[in-house]
Structure 1
Amino acid sequence: MKAASVFKSCVGGLLSLALCGCVQSTGLGERAIVKSIYMDFRAGSYEAVLTVMDWKPSADAGSAENQPQVYLGRGKTVGQALQKAEDQQSKKPFYGQNDLLFLGQGILQTDITPCLSYFAQENAVRPNLMVLAVRQNAAQWMEQKEQMGKIVEQSGLMGVKTQGGQEISTSLYEFFRHEGEKASGWMPIAALHDNGLETVTSLAVIGQGKQTAVLQDEQTALALCLAGKSTELTYNSAVGDNILSFIARGVRVVRQAQMENGTPKLCVLVEGEFQEISMDGKTLYGDKAKQAAAQINRFLEESAKKLSQKTFEQGNDVFAFSWWMAQEDAAAVLRAKEEAELYRADAVNYQFLLSAPKA
C-alpha cells in the first residue's frame, strides 16, 4: 500500500510538471517561443503578427542564442489569424512566456472586445498579459523585426515607462469591468524608435470596445494618478504664452462620496508636493513658487474636468468613480444609472491641493 501511494504521488507530480510546462515533450530547439502578439483589424479581417524567439546554436557548442522572427497571418477570426501566423513556420508555438499584446489602430477603431475575449478565454495565454496600443499597421510592425528583442525586453511584465520614469501597465482583465459588457478602460500608446519603446506620453481611452479619445500631456499624468498607476505628475509644455515645467511626487488621491438632494456625488482631492516648478526655463522659489503652485492647481482642476468630459460624462467610468459613490449609497447610484442621471458634469468635483516646493 505504501509503495502504491508513493507511486501515485510520483505520477501525480510528473503530471503536474507536464501541465505547467516544466517537462516538455518537445525539445527547446523545436519550440517557437512566442514573446509578443500584434493584432489589428482591416478590410474585414483580423491580422496577427507573432514575434517568435527562434533558438539558434551559437559558436559555443554548449549554448544557444535566440533571434527574433516575425510571422504574419490573416483570418476572419482571431483564432484563424493566429493559426495562419503559426503556419508560417514549422515549429510548435509556445505561448507560456508571452507577456505582450499590441493592438493596431484598425482594431481600436472597430471593436477590441472579441480580440480581448479570445485571449481571456485562451488557457495557453498568461493571465497577466499586458495590453498596449501602437500606431503601426501590420506591415509597418513587421518592419520592426530588428527592434523586437529590445521591445520585448523593455516592456515585459513591469510595463513601459512614463516621462517621469514610473513603470505602468494595463493587464488584459482590466478591460472587463462588468460581465456581458464590451471592453472599456484605457491603455498606453507606445511609440517605437531605434532603441525599442519610447516612454508613454499618451493613453487610448476605450469605451464600448472602441477608442473614444486620446489623452495627452497633463491628462495622461492625471489619468495615471486617478487610476492608481502613478504617484507623480510631470509636465513640460506651453501654458498660455509661457513654457511651464513641474514635477510633483508623492501624489495622493482621496475620494469623498456624498449625497446632495438624493443625488450621489464625488469629491476627488489630489494632494502632494511640487518638487520643482520652472517657467520659461527658470526655477521658481519662495513667493513666486507659491503663486505658481496656486495657478498650476487651478490649471490641473480644469484639465481634470476636461478629462471627465472624455470619460465619466460619456458613461465610461474608467476610474471607478461610481464604485466610490456606491460606498455612500449603493441604491442611489443604481437609481441614478437607471434614470440616466449618474454621469452628469456636476457629479464629480475636483480639488487640487499640491503644495509649493520647500525652500
Structure 2
Amino acid sequence: MRKTMVKTMLTVLMCFVLCGCFQSRSLGERAIVKAVYMNTLADGKIEAALVVFTCEPNSDTASVTGKAKIYMAKGDTLEEALYLAEQQQNKKVFYAQNELLLLGPGATKNISSYLSYFGQEDVGRLNLSVYLTELEGDEFSKCDDIIENVIQEGERLTDRTLTQASPAKSIYESIPGEKGESGWLPVLEFSPEEDYIGVKKAFLFKEDQCYEVWNATELQVALMLDGKSQRLSTQAQYDGQEISLKTGPLTMETQVLEKEDDLLLQLSISGRLEHLSIDGKTVSINRSSQELIMANRWLVDTVSNIVSQTFYEKNDVFQWEWWLRLHDAKRIEAWKSQDQMESHIQIQVIGNLSDS
C-alpha cells in the first residue's frame, strides 16, 4: 500500500513537471544581464561588473526597456566577484541575453580562465562577443550613460566585422592549448568623456600572453585569412604613401608543394579591387597599372607580416598545420617532435587582386 502511494505521488509530480504547471519566474522579475566586465587587479583580486537592463513587470518577452545600470564588486575568485556583483541588486540574475564580455587591462594575464568560464551556456550566449577594454573598473563604472551604445556597437561589429559588409561569427579568435589560449582579441575603445566607440587595434596572444598589437587594417586582414570576413575596406600607410582600398569578395586558395626536403605552403588571394586611392586621389585601375601592382604588393607584405607574427612564432592561429598534415602528416609529426616544424615550412603569399 505504501509503495503504491509513493508511485502515485511520483506519477502526479511528473505530470506537473511535464505539463509545465509550475509557475516560472517571468522576465519582469529578473535582472537582464546584457554585458559583463571582468578584470584582474594588481593584488590578484577579481573585479566584476554586470550591465543590467530592466524589463516591464510580468514581461515574458525577450525585450528589455529602461536605463542600463552597472553593478560592480570585487572578490577573491571569478565566481565570488560575479556573485557579489549580483547581490548589488535584488532581482534574480538572468544571463541568457548576455551578449558582450569586456575584459579589462589586467585580464590579459589569465585570458583562459575568463574565456573558458564564459563559454558555459548558463553565463552567456553561444555567440558571445569578446573584447578587451583599456578601462579600469572605476572608469567602467561611470559608463552608465553610454553603455547601451557600447553594447550595440559591439554587436554591430560582430555582425558585420570591421568592413561593414561581411557577416562574421565573431571578431575574435581563441584556440585552447595545453598551456593556455592562443588567438587575438580586439580592443573596443569607448569612454564616458568621448563620443567615439569602435575598434582601432587588437592584441595577439599565445598561451595567455599578449605579445603583439595589430592595427585595424591588420585585424581586417586577419579576419579574412581566418574565413570570418570576405572583403577588405581600409586605409594604410605603404611605401611612404597613404592608400585607401576596397575589394569585392575575396577567395584564398591553399596549396602545399614539395621544395627539396621541405614544404612550401602557397596562399593565393584573389578578388576584384573595387576602389583605390593614393594620397587622397582616386586612381583608375587596369590590369597593368602600377597602382594595381602596388595594391597587390601591399596585400602580400601585410599577409606575410601576419604570418611571421603567428605561424613563425609557434602561434598557428590560422591552423595552417592542418593543410600541411593533409599533404604529409608523418613528416609534420616528426618535425614537431623535434621542435623544427617552422624551419621546414616556407609560406608564400600571392596577391591576385584584379580590375574585374
The bucket for the TM-score relative to the shorter chain is 0.7 to 0.9
Cα-to-partner distance string for 1:268-306 (whole Å, 9 max, x where unaligned): 111111101111222111559821111121122122222
Judged with a 3 Å threshold, the aligned counterparts in structure 2 of structure 1 residues 175 and 118 are, in CA distance, closer, same or farther, namely same
CA distance in 1, matches of 2:319, 2:197: 29
Query: 2:95: which partner in 1?
Result: 95
Judged with a 3 Å threshold, the aligned counterparts in structure 2 of structure 1 residues 72 and 51 are, in CA distance, closer, same or farther, namely same
CA distance in 1, matches of 2:103, 2:138: 13
Query: Is residue 255–residue 266 contact of structure 1 (8 Å, CA) maintained in 2?
Result: yes
Query: Is residue 169–residue 188 contact of structure 1 (8 Å, CA) maintained in 2?
Result: no
CA distance in 1, matches of 2:288, 2:101: 43
Q: Find the residue that maps to 1:294 and give its secondary structure.
A: helix
Query: 1:47: which partner in 2?
Result: 47
**How many residues are treated as equivalent by the alignment?**
339
Cα-to-partner distance string for 1:40-71 (whole Å, 9 max, x where unaligned): 111111111110112367xxxxx983320101
The answer to whether residue 222 in structure 2 is matched with residue 223 in structure 1 is: yes
Q: Find the residue that maps to 1:201 and give its secondary structure.
A: strand
The answer to whether residue 92 in structure 2 is matched with residue 80 in structure 1 is: no
Cα-to-partner distance string for 1:319-356 (whole Å, 9 max, x where unaligned): 1111111111222222222222223495311111111x
CA distance in 1, matches of 2:350, 2:344: 15
Query: 1:341: which partner in 2?
Result: 340
CA RMSD of aligned residues (A): 3.0
Judged with a 3 Å threshold, the aligned counterparts in structure 2 of structure 1 residues 226 and 156 are, in CA distance, closer, same or farther, namely same
Query: Is residue 73–residue 84 contact of structure 1 (8 Å, CA) maintained in 2?
Result: yes
Q: Find the residue that maps to 1:151 and give its secondary structure.
A: helix
Q: Find the residue that maps to 2:342 and give its secondary structure.
A: coil
Query: 1:60: which partner in 2?
Result: none
Q: Find the residue that maps to 2:317 and give its secondary structure.
A: coil
- After TM superposition, which residue ranges in structure 1, 4 or more long, deviate above 4 angstroms? 4-10, 160-163, 193-197, 286-289
Instruction: Give the gaps of 5 or more residues in structure 1.
Output: 58-62
Deviation at 1:160, TM superposition (A): 5.8
Deviation at 1:101, TM superposition (A): 0.8
Structure 2: which amino acid aligns with 1:342?
M
Query: 1:187: which partner in 2?
Result: 185
* Normalised TM-score (structure 2): 0.84
CA distance in 2, matches of 1:299, 1:334: 34
Query: Is residue 225–residue 231 contact of structure 1 (8 Å, CA) maintained in 2?
Result: yes
Q: Find the residue that maps to 1:98 and give its secondary structure.
A: coil
CA distance in 2, matches of 1:251, 1:217: 18
Judged with a 3 Å threshold, the aligned counterparts in structure 2 of structure 1 residues 245 and 158 are, in CA distance, closer, same or farther, namely closer
Report matched runs for 1:19-34 at 5 Å. 24=24, 26-34=25-33
CA distance in 2, matches of 1:196, 1:94: 30
Structure 2: which amino acid aligns with 1:77?
T
Structure 2: which amino acid aligns with 1:246?
L
Cα-to-partner distance string for 1:72-111 (whole Å, 9 max, x where unaligned): 1112211111112111112111111112111112111x12
* Normalised TM-score (structure 1): 0.84
